Amino acid sequence: MAGMPNPYLYVLDEPLARAELLEQLASMPARLSEAVAGGTDHKLLRRPSANDWSAFETLEHVRDAALVYSARFRWMVFDDDPLLTNYDENAWVASAKDVPGDVPAILNEIAASRADLVRVLSRLTDEEWRRTGRHEVAGPVVLEDYVRHQVAHEARHLEQIRAALTTG
């Protein structure tokens, strides 16, 4: 497992110390809030193309992923090598009953989940950062690599939100 990159995990463009990694996690709710601030319903719901999510759908996905990953990380911290089930991100977004007026509530959900996660992760020892899980699709994952994946994943979606709001 160690030393072999997992093709299912995003990799950060730059190496981050753990403190920087935690800061990236902690600051994401504010960066998302800033990105969607002032977005009209029309802009939030407009899809850049037929195959792309709108900024709003991307925000819903970031919320879903924040909740799912937070649970997975907690399982990895508190259970021994747990099975981490997959979820259908497209189905979750398509089935959501959220509307643009829910943006503040969605941002609050992300912020609350993230505050808890950062608190848990900030107290881990070096050994605990190496805890493992077995992802249903990605296979074996190491907690620290998986957290780095989440930071890279969210950064990509933050840029996707910004681009969707400025397109057209």
Residue-range definition of the domain harbouring residue 140: 21-94+129-166
Task: Read off the CATH number of the domain in which 88 is found.
Answer: 1.20.120.450
Tell me the pLDDT tens digit for each residue of 62-81: 999 999 999 999 999 999 99
Looking at the domain assignment, is residue 81 inside a domain?
yes
Do 1 and 132 contact (CB within 8 A), yes or no? yes
pLDDT more than 90, % of the chain: 88
Q: What is the DSSP letter of 101?
A: G
Tell me the pLDDT tens digit for each residue of 104-163: 999 999 999 999 999 999 999 999 999 999 999 999 999 999 999 999 999 999 999 999
Looking at the domain assignment, is residue 36 inside a domain?
yes
Looking at the domain assignment, is residue 13 inside a domain?
no
Q: Is the pTM of this model over 0.75?
A: yes
pLDDT of residue 135: 95
Looking at the domain assignment, is residue 110 inside a domain?
no
Number of domains observed in the structure of the chain: 1
Question: What is the number of other CB atoms lying within 10 angstroms of the CB of residue 64?
Answer: 18
Looking at the domain assignment, is residue 113 inside a domain?
no
Query: What are the start-end ranges of the H helices in 79-102?
Result: 89-95
